[in-house]
Amino acid sequence: MHRLLKRQLKQIYGKSADIDQLSDREKQFFKAVSQSYEENDKERRFYQHTVEVNSNELNEKNIAINKALSSLSKAQRLAQTGSWLLDLNDHTVEWSDELFRIYELEPKAIQPSRVYIAPLIHPDDEGLADCGLQLTLEKGFFDSVYRLQFESGKIKYIHEHREIIFNFKKQPVAVQGSIQDVTAQKKAEEELYLYANVFHNSGESILITDKDHRIIAVNTAFTEATGYSLDDLKGKNPNVLSDGNTPDYVYDNMWSELDQKGFWQGELNDRKKNGEVYPKWMSISVSYSDEGEILHYIASFADISERKADQERIHYLAHHDALTGLVNRFSLEERLSQALHTAHRKSRKLALMFIDMDRFKLVNDTLGHSAGDTLLVEVARRLNECVRESDIVARIGGDEFVIVLTEIGDGLSAAPIARLILDKLGRPYDINSQQVFSSPSIGISIFPSDGDDANSLMKNADGAMYHAKDQGRNNYQFFTESLNTDANDRLTLENDLRFAIENGQFELFYQPQVCACSGEYCGVEALLRWFHPEKGLISPEIFIPIAEETKLIVPLGLWVLEEACRQQFEWQEKYDKKLKMAVNVSAQQLQDPDLVRKIKLVMEKFNVAENSLALEITESTVMEDPEAAIMLLRQIRDLGIELAIDDFGTGYSSLAYLKLLPIHTLKLDQTFVSDIEFDNNDAEISAAALALAHNLGLTVVAEGVETAAQRDFLVSHKCETLQGFFYGKPLPVDKVTEIIFNT
């Protein structure tokens, strides 16, 4: 029973009252009352507990709200963002603390209102601020960036966002907004825009890589200059742009400077997307973090092709004649000095020609200076056709030209060139639809006999040129009378050589060749001889070089081939003995594009059997252009002709090409054979040459065999064929016929 009822029972019945003493009706009444009290007491205690709990929760919520508001205020201050709320019913406005700071207003000095905002709006941005909330109410939201202008002149950029709050009936009840001070962000954007604008619109090409040298950005100028877009290069190393020919030391120096100083500039050669190689002047800077770590490499460069072309043009004009393009006087002195130094070091001769055009003043006076200039340009072109690339052609003023022939064999070697110049420059000139005639007078001096420096050579050649004019113009004169005499003799011999070819003054001699194993005659070599009607027998060492220089060797060589094949056919028909015929072929003949056809016709004419004709070519001739020689020799070999390399060991053979040549035989030069008995070096060379030939599958013909000891040495080293005075000198056809066929 509830303790309150117990107290009341004791008050009514005394201290000793007990519920068991009550009647049943009284018990029921007191139980009912007790039960009611207990229920009320429980409700009271529950309500009291509930109140206590709600009170605690309310306190906790208030604390949490205060903390949240404090955090929000801090967050807004850090983000420089304020907020406001406008009640559309009572038009009250609530501002956050940060909003006061943004507007630079004191919270206690004013009541929050948009009235205070309007005067701060920049006059040019009033339309962007929507102070009357009209746009906000029409659209339901508002978002804009505008400026505030304070009395001090300070400007702030504001980003404002507003939204309307609706009730459950979708009626607008409030407007809430946020305002952020974006001045710093705006300035950063403007700076970024400025930098981006400078980057993309810079006249210089710019490329940026990360610290690992991966390309991350290029500007418009770079793409226009190289043809590469960022998509082409992104993530790649800039070395993909290199032309591959810039020396390694340039890159080594570049990275050393970047590592030590963080900056480098210099010239590089790169390749554009279309493959064009171009020079550029590049500057590279390193970008570092605050901690000193590398962030980026920034490279800017400009294509300096035009600048270098201008420099080259200036250099060219400084060293060349503006009219003809030839070397000028200044450059002539420099190049002549170098040529003299080389000639002195190599103990070689050098020829200097001083050329003056005859009657040039007459052309200028009658046809005008323009016609004279045209003539000089044509003279320069013709002079270049007369000399080698290694020679020097210069115009030193007016109608005077100088030619330097570098590394000539002897003084007389200048004579054929002088005659060629006389011929070329003496031909008519077509100027303004008129034929104009002029001729050169040429003076020649030779280093070192006529002078060992540029001044003396020029002076002596000039004197010789005036001597040529005294002799009637249109001729050449050497500085020394002896050379003039020799040159005249050479010219006479050249004319006699032409006459000899036309009138059959040549004869073939034949030198026997013996098989080393059997000792039997197995072939002959055809050797050309010239019997001059007045001067008698002229050595091949004299007339063959002249024939080579004048290219008379081409028709002469064809005559030799025909006569040798005719004689071989006659021997075959008369003695029924196969005898191999060896014929020498000159370098000039190998340059004849019709050579293979001519050889084929001769072989068909005299029914030359396969492998019975051997053509001998000197190794120096082959090595001038090995690849072209290989192609030509293969065509000749396919005709059934054996090919031999003559004078092997005296030139500068490349073994790499030697094994590719379609040859059958090596001819061991007599300079090695002659000293086999006495010179161990020659013996070793001969043995090595024989071993080399055999390893390459070639046979060997040894020339100059004159003694039994030489024969025995060569036989012991398995030389296949022997030739020399030991077996017979070169003899006329009747004499060699007696020896070989025992007639």
| pLDDT score at 65 | 46
Tokens of 526: 């055809």
What local confidence, expressed as pLDDT, does residue 14 receive?
Answer: 53
- Residue closest to 696 by CA, chosen among 648, 626, 650: 648
C-alpha to C-alpha distances, 457 to 399, 400, 450, 466, 596, nearest whole angstrom: 19, 15, 6, 14, 46
Q: Which of these, 132, 141, 144, lies nearest to 166 by C-alpha position?
A: 141
The pLDDT value recorded for residue 652 is 47
* Dihedral angle of Cα 191, 195, 200, 202, to the nearest 10 degrees: 130
Closest of 591, 703, 704, 582 to residue 644, by C-alpha: 582
pLDDT along the chain (743 residues), means of 10: 52 53 59 60 59 54 50 58 85 84 78 68 82 73 87 88 87 87 83 73 85 91 90 91 86 90 90 90 90 90 84 82 91 92 90 93 85 93 93 93 90 89 92 88 93 91 88 88 71 90 93 93 95 91 87 93 96 91 92 93 94 88 77 93 82 62 89 86 88 91 93 93 94 94 76
Please state, in angstroms and as integers, the Cα–Cα distance from residue 636 to each residue in 561, 597, 697, following that order: 14, 9, 19
Rounded distance between C-alpha atoms, residue 559 and residue 567, angstroms:
12
CB 437 within 8 A of CB 428: yes
Show contacts of 74-83: CB within 8 Å, 24+ apart.
Answer: 77/101, 79/180, 80/180, 80/181, 80/182, 81/178, 81/179, 81/180, 81/181, 82/178, 82/179, 82/180, 83/176, 83/177, 83/178, 83/179
Strand partners, 394: 327, 402
What lies within 8 Å, CB to CB, of 335 at 6+ separation is: 327, 392, 404
The dihedral through the CA atoms of 458, 459, 462, 464 has a sign that is negative
User: Which H/E stretch holds residue 343?
Assistant: helix 329-346
Torsion of CA 272, 277, 282, 284, to 10 degrees: 50
Packed helices 540-550 and 481-503: angle between N→C axes, nearest 10 degrees: 80
Q: Among candidates 108, 196, 178, 105, which has minimal Cα distance to 136?
A: 178
Burial of 459 (0-12, 13-18, 19+ CB in 10 A): middle
Report pTM: 0.48
Retrieve residue 585's tokens: 């072929």
Beta bridge partners of 15: none
- How far out from the chain centre does Cα 256 lie? 24
Counts of helices then strands in the chain (DSSP H, E): 27, 26
Tokens of 617: 């070519």
